[in-house]
Structure 1
């Protein structure tokens, strides 16, 4: 930097020539230099203050923005991070086809204790035993005064119980938030829903997992956060389901039955509109399995899916339809019904003597075992097995329940000629009522395979493989309608709904082998309306009996059929089916003058 001299020689000499003081020039230059240095220092200081001010402005702006963002969000407790997957305690609702809630979640609390923090363990144990009578005061006191540092007391408590525990005032009694599974309709559709319980648990959350039914089958889907809370929509209609369970319960009481099963299924889509098994249970308090050799005595046993029975004469329509489909007979072909029919040491007899021969149609209407056996002999064992397989009788149903694989049909070890004949009228082979519903739907909907489903179908369903022609399906429907109007199911003639169906009465097997002589499984399988089918209905009663027409009756025509008729009468309007009222005969109308 070039500095200006304080006493420049030129100006000093010039000042001396003019008689001025040269020291004034040096003083003036010194003053100017100091002023220049002050201006520079001031500019540097002002620049520093400007930078510092900008820094503080940005810092306060960032803090203010963050505070504004925090004030606009919902407050929550800070959570410590931990390794591993967190417990997922959210679970989607389950609804029926109309959006009515079948299963949902309820916020509640769990009660636990930390004994080292307790002030008066004896008082706490005494008060807890008073609030929760199922708890033992002595055991609680032993846990509170022992070496345990943590113990669960109750997994779920009500708000009233929570307040009562809070009033004890002991700091060692603590509450943890919970989300419990709630079934607002109680036992309605209990076997389908199944139930839920807790999996992994922590003091601040618990994992709700399905233990049976659709809750278990769709467990991963119901707990998947990617579904964003979307409800699982079932094909059930809650109003139809409730009506079915009420009718079946009444039927069990009137017919003094040990159990009952009912199914209503869409004949075209396979959607299960209602399915019940009685006795049932409340999934809010699911009972434990019953130990023993007979699982059917447990209320959690699903007779519709897991119950594998010989279903009796409801199978006869399959033999008649297959024989017609193969071109071996038609509905009016005469069949030899003279009996008894002998095969080795076995004798096949009819319930009544129907004469020397019947048409194929009348074999079904009168329910002739001999006539059906002769149709089966025309068909042959390989073709019979193949046909029943096409209807789904050789494997478990694929319905969306974890219990479905356990309902495996019981087939003969060797499909011999005697097996061929007995299976044709529903003996020698066991299957579930749901198998029967699928098969009737497949046979009577025009002849295409239908598989049962518990999921609502949003649109038309593509037809399955063809099992019989449309003409054979129409013949089968006409024969089943004749069973109601002329045969063994006359009590099923519900005015306006043109119900067609078949009865079946089978001796109940003993758990130790053989059959009871005084206990039966009575079944009715039907379709309505028969001329333009919409739904299949199955009703099965375990050990029914009723005193009617002067004697004790156990056959399906006297037990299962009246229950099925009442079921259709109650549920058909709920499903939007308008009764067809027959027009009056003009010849029976008398004209009356208005004058």
Structure 2
């Protein structure tokens, strides 16, 4: 109930007493206004209090959320849109010392919206000037047609981007793009393989591996959960570069069609360097051959995919197995009277070594007849089992997508003649990587190692293949091959190299026998032989050393000098100090008169 401004009782009383009734009305108005002001003030204060509480709560919630985010593990944000987002980031690949082998580069793509172009002819002329591979007439046709979107270049440099900016056409647009970069060019190209684009959009592109390590570990390299951790390889970039330089020079000097090398840690199986020539630049990966022999393509990894009859480098396996079975010892005399006849087959030696040789000299002089006779004592079944324990019956497990294609070629019927020919490296085809792994397993003390391209931090003890004493005898025999045998050019002062040569005739492409003037020359070596650390296998395809009156194609003249130079260049990089014998000083005696 509101109080009336002019209450009748008070008005009548005021008039009776001679007072002014307007004063009563004015006083009532004042009181009413004060009451209304008090209510309005209270309402405002309440609203301000509620608003203040709301701001306080908001700040508490935001501050708490910021604290939670700061203390939590970062996670890749997920898009709420339908469909999978394009993942653009990709982890680096580094060598064993953390040096970059593959990384990412932020760049831009260039695309066009022809409907937004003011002068298509001017834009086409400008683009043809910036990018000479583009045809101006084709661009004008595309810009004036019905297409509403057009890729111009999937990736451009900053300088090209600025030049396109200067054209000033609103229909030329840029999108962020991540590209894969190999800063060392062709170094380790066959190991890295290469990358390309998968799903593409104007705002990003999916970088996927197409070969080699990039494809084998594509899931890891693209996984945001890896938090950008690099993939660490066993390769040593410095050693790899030196090995490629030496092998390229040796391939040129020896007039070879191709070449490969594998340098492996004898205890861990880590591949320190792997080279295949000819090679390529993964920044500009060539196309796969559509005709002809794929083995002639620079994309072909000869060290892993190339399976060859590697020749006499297999002889040490035969002798080592026979010693393991206690059939012979290094001094056992072996019948080398030739030729060795088996049915219509004749096995001969490169030279006539007389009626017999010691087991050591069978290796040193590389007698096919002597090795075949030892293999006959071993037998086909035991030989197959032993080579299987060294990994020669299946593809290597190295971390490359191409590895399964390097499957050894085995005889359909492992007969006695197959046993004899396989003993000296014919009748079974395997890759240089198989050979390196077999030598490492035999010479490291006799335990199996698996080749790997991933950094290892400790030796991996595999199953035993021969006794330590047999392994040591095999190393001494291989040392004798370098000191006084077919690999005399392999001597590197201070590093005590041991090894075995192998020269195998190349089979004809039509399967009709072998070439008379084409060979695969191989030198498989270990150094230092007295305390083995590394195995090196060098293979040359169709070499020919032409400094003399007649071409010389044997491994002793071709592959061995190349391997020796490679050891000379890489051993110091591997931290191996040369062991040089210090001559004894002449004693001087002081006497008094």
Q: Same fold (TM over 0.5)?
A: yes
Q: For the structure 1 residues 553 and 29, does the alpha-carbon distance in structure 2 shift closer, same or farther, using more than 3 Å as the test?
A: same
Deviations 1:515-568 (A, max 9, x none): 211011100001000011000001000111113454321000000000000000
Q: 1:512 Cα deviation (Å)?
A: 1.6
Q: State the SS of the aligned residue for 1:488.
A: coil
Q: When the two structures are aligned, how many residues end up with a matched partner?
A: 569
Deviation at residue 593 of structure 1 after TM alignment: 7.7
Maintained 8 Å contact 1:190/1:281 = yes
Following the alignment from structure 1 to structure 2, what is the Cα–Cα distance between the partners of residues 65 and 135?
Answer: 59
CA contact (8 A) 1:234 1:455 kept: yes
The 5 Å alignment of 1:235-384 reads 235-384=234-383
The aligned counterpart of 2:171 is 172
Tell me if structure 1 keeps the 8 A contact 2:189–2:280: yes
* Contact preservation (8 Å) 1:315, 1:424: yes
The 3 A distance-change label for structure 1 pair 500 and 594 is: farther
**Residue in structure 2 matched with residue 461 of structure 1 by the alignment:** 459
> Is the 8 Å Cα contact of residues 449 and 460 (structure 2) preserved in structure 1?
no
Decide which of 495, 501, 504 is 1:503's aligned counterpart: 501
Higher deviation after alignment, 154-163 or 93-102: 154-163
The alignment partner of 1:411 has SS state of coil
Distance 2:590 2:148 in 1: 96
Q: Which residue of 2 aligns with 1:44?
A: 39
Secondary structure of the residue that 2:84 maps to in structure 1? Answer: coil
The residue matched to 1:462 in structure 2 has which SS? coil
Cα distance in 1 between the residues matched to 2:456 and 2:62? 50
> 2: distance between equivalents of 1:130 and 1:511?
48
Shift of 1:167: 1.4
- Give the Cα–Cα distance (whole angstroms) in 1 for the partners of residues 486 and 433 of structure 2: 23
Q: Is the 8 A contact 1:294 1:511 kept in 2?
A: no
Partner Cα separation in structure 2 for residue 478 and residue 384 of structure 1: 22
Q: What's the offset of the Cα at 1:82?
A: 2.9
Deviations 1:131-188 (A, max 9, x none): 1111122222221111111111111111111111111111111111111111111011
| TM-score for both structures, normalised by structure 2 | 0.90
* Equivalent runs, 1:176-191 vs 2, <5 Å: 176-191=175-190
Q: Report the Cα distance in structure 2 between the residues aligned to 1:23 and 1:541, rounded to whole angstroms.
A: 137
In 2 relative to 1, CA 37–161 (structure 1 residues): closer, same or farther, beyond 3 Å?
closer
Structure 1 residue runs of 5 or longer lacking an equivalent are 8-20, 74-78
Q: Matched residues in 2 for 1:80 and 1:127: separation?
A: 38
Aligned pairs for 1:479-494 (under 5 A) are 479-494=477-492
Post-superposition offset of 1:90: 0.2
The answer to whether the 8 Å contact 2:185/2:282 transfers is: yes
Matched position secondary structure for 2:492: coil
- Alpha-carbon deviation of 1:584? 1.6
Deviation at 1:63, TM superposition (A): 8.9
In 2, Cα distance between equivalents of 1:574 and 1:262: 17
| 2:422 is aligned with 1:427 | no
Task: Work out whether residues 310 and 429 of structure 1, in 8 Å CA contact, stay in contact via their aligned partners in 2.
Answer: yes
Give the alignment partner of residue 49 of structure 2, picking from 54, 63, 76: 54
Helix, strand or coil: the match of 1:546? coil
Structure 1 counterpart SS, 2:546? strand
Aligned position for 2:95 = 96
Identify the residue that residue 16 of structure 1 maps to in structure 2. none
Mind listing any 5+ residue stretches in structure 2 that lack a counterpart?
8-15, 70-77
Task: Say if 1:293 and 1:511, in contact at 8 Å, map to a contact too.
Answer: no
Counterpart for residue 195 of structure 2: 196
Q: Give how far 1:486 is off.
A: 1.1
Q: Distance between the aligned counterparts of 2:386 and 2:573, measured in 1? A: 35
CA distance in 1, matches of 2:152, 2:582: 69
Higher mean Cα deviation, 220-229 or 125-134? 125-134
CA distance in 2, matches of 1:190, 1:347: 43
